Structure 1
Amino acid sequence: MPGSHLPGAQASPEPADPNRIKAQVDELLAELGAPRAAGPAESTEVGADITRRARILEQAHDVLVDALATVDKI
């Protein structure tokens, strides 16, 4: 089964629900908000914002990978 090699993969995954997946990804992407413009004194804050945004995008990616792992390939 695709994705069975991933950590935390379930033995019998629940089928992918497109509406649930879209809602989860939309919720995560809504957390991104607009990127902030940075001045010279804000480089640490911008670095933290980039790290936060990368974490959110990684979570959205994980949702999509998990969904793909539940789809049977014919």
Structure 2
Amino acid sequence: MSTPIPRPGEHLPGARPTVDPAHVREEVDALLARVREGASLPGAASTDQSVLLEQADLLERAHEVLVQALSTVDKI
């Protein structure tokens, strides 16, 4: 009656994926620092479309880093 319950991802071949929280934090912090730099550029109004588009792209990339980390953790 004590049949082991498989853990998520155990059925997948190869090594188990890992997530380094420090690396994820560094990557996201670097992207967010670039967002802050763009917001504080002298002469660039905060409503300048190119600045807003670049900031949106950087935030999207930071989001993807976090989503990928969460997806990997789900498989562990």
TM range (shorter): 0.5 to 0.7
Query: What TM-score does the superposition give when structure 1 sets the normalisation length?
Result: 0.65
**Counterpart position of 1:63:** 65
Higher relative contact order (CA 8 A, sep 6+): 1
Deviations 1:11-62 (A, max 9, x none): 8673111000000001111111252563xxxx6xx00000000000000000
| Root-mean-square deviation (Å) | 2.8
Q: Which runs of 5+ in 1 are unaligned?
A: 2-10
The 2-side partners of 1:55 and 1:21 are apart by 18
Runs of 4+ residues deviating >6 angstroms: none
Of residues 12, 16, 22, the one that matches 2:19 is 16
Number of aligned residues: 59
**Counterpart position of 1:27:** 30
| Higher CA-based Rg | 2
Q: Which runs of 5+ in 2 are unaligned?
A: 1-7, 9-13
Alpha-carbon spacing, 1:50–1:18, altered in 2? closer, same or farther (3 Å): same
Percent identity at matched positions? 41
